[in-house]
Amino acid sequence: MTNWFKFRSLQAGAKALCLQMSMFAVTIFGLLLVTFMIGRVVPVDPVLVIVGDRATAEVYARVYAELGLDQPLYHQFLMYLYKVAQGDFGTSVLTSQSVVRDIAAFFPATIELAVTGTLIGVLLGVPLGILSAVRKNTLLDQLVRLVALVGYSIPIFWLGLVGLLVFYVKLDWVAGVGRIDAVYEYIIERETGFVLLDAVWHGQWDIVRNFLSHLVLPGALLGYMSMAYIIRMTRSFMLEQLGQEYIVTARVKGLSEGRIVLHAFRNVLAQLITVIALSFAYLLEGAVLTETVFAWPGLGLYITNSLFAADMNAVLAGTTVIGVCFVLLNAVSDALGMLFDPRTRSART
């Protein structure tokens, strides 16, 4: 009997995994289709972007054919899928380099911001959300909800500009725009693309201090935005659990409030994992405005500059990368949710 239950559990897990893989493949295909169509409907002539508006008709026709624009739309899409499968998103007009190479150079800076913001959001948002739920309708609850409401409502670019004005211009507590000062750009020994890791690995502690001085303000602002979202969701999940009958039973039995809260938190952990994963994905996307305000050389700034330069290869590749990150993080959060809460696994099967 025990072996039968183990077999059924493994079978359910395999079915859930197959379902996840199928949904992942369909979502990625849809994402590539949407990005491809966007590249075809935007009012930008990719040939003119490459050859310029003074090129002859012969040069224009040759480049037009080289790009495959003379082929039927379905054939163009198949060729697009074939190139993407090979990791080829074309060449950037802005940098004259492979788009994949550009993304590999710019994406670590975005990850640095997103990881910093997520860590701040989790370390502050989860405890405050739990505290707000436990102390429902008290002054503390109202203050926490106000903090979350402000962080959830105010535009991030406005907070960034105000933060620069106050903490950089007026108080001089943090460094200005950029990832590190220009004097360190050609000194740092780049291995991974992550400034902090590379500087620590090579013992360049002056670069570490300079980088952290640049990171603290944009990272804290993204962390505030993440914290506001996590507070609201944690509070909502905890309130739902604290209103369940098993909580009433636990209180009747005389369990301490700490153990009751801990038990309720365990039951919302799977949901919180999904919230944190999505928060991290939103920070990858939301970092576009933050990177623009702080001139942070990440993927968001790269996409923005490419958009102004009508460099559609770079724009579509960056959009695809962020979309794939969303899908992957959602899949990972679902898998972790099934690991921490077997009820979700049984519900999916």
Tens digit of each residue's pLDDT (9 = 90 or more) over 28-73: 888 888 888 877 777 777 777 777 777 777 877 887 787 777 788 8
pLDDT at position 252, please? 80
C-alpha 192/C-alpha 108 separation (Å) is: 8
Q: How many CB atoms lie within 10 A of CB 198?
A: 19
**Which residue type does 48 have?**
L
The answer to whether position 41 is within a domain reads no
* CATH number of the domain encompassing residue 252: 1.10.3720.10
pLDDT at position 279, please? 87
End-to-end alpha-carbon separation of the chain, Å?
21
The answer to whether position 27 is within a domain reads no
Contacts of 314 (CB under 8 A, 6+ apart): 89, 92, 93, 94, 95, 99, 102, 302, 303, 306
Q: Which residue has the tokens 């701040």?
A: 120
The answer to whether position 72 is within a domain reads no
Domain count, the chain: 1
The answer to whether position 76 is within a domain reads no
List the domain range (segments joined by +) for residue 125. Answer: 104-348
The answer to whether position 3 is within a domain reads no
Tell me the pLDDT tens digit for each residue of 234-244. 999 999 888 88
pLDDT at position 93, please? 78
- Counting as low any pLDDT under 50, the low residues of the chain are 5-7, 345-349
pLDDT at position 16, please? 60
For 200-209, the CB contacts below 8 A with 24+ separation are: 207/180
pTM over 0.75: yes
C-alpha 252/C-alpha 231 separation (Å) is: 29
pLDDT at position 116, please? 93
The answer to whether position 152 is within a domain reads yes
pLDDT at position 119, please? 94
The answer to whether position 179 is within a domain reads yes
The answer to whether position 9 is within a domain reads no
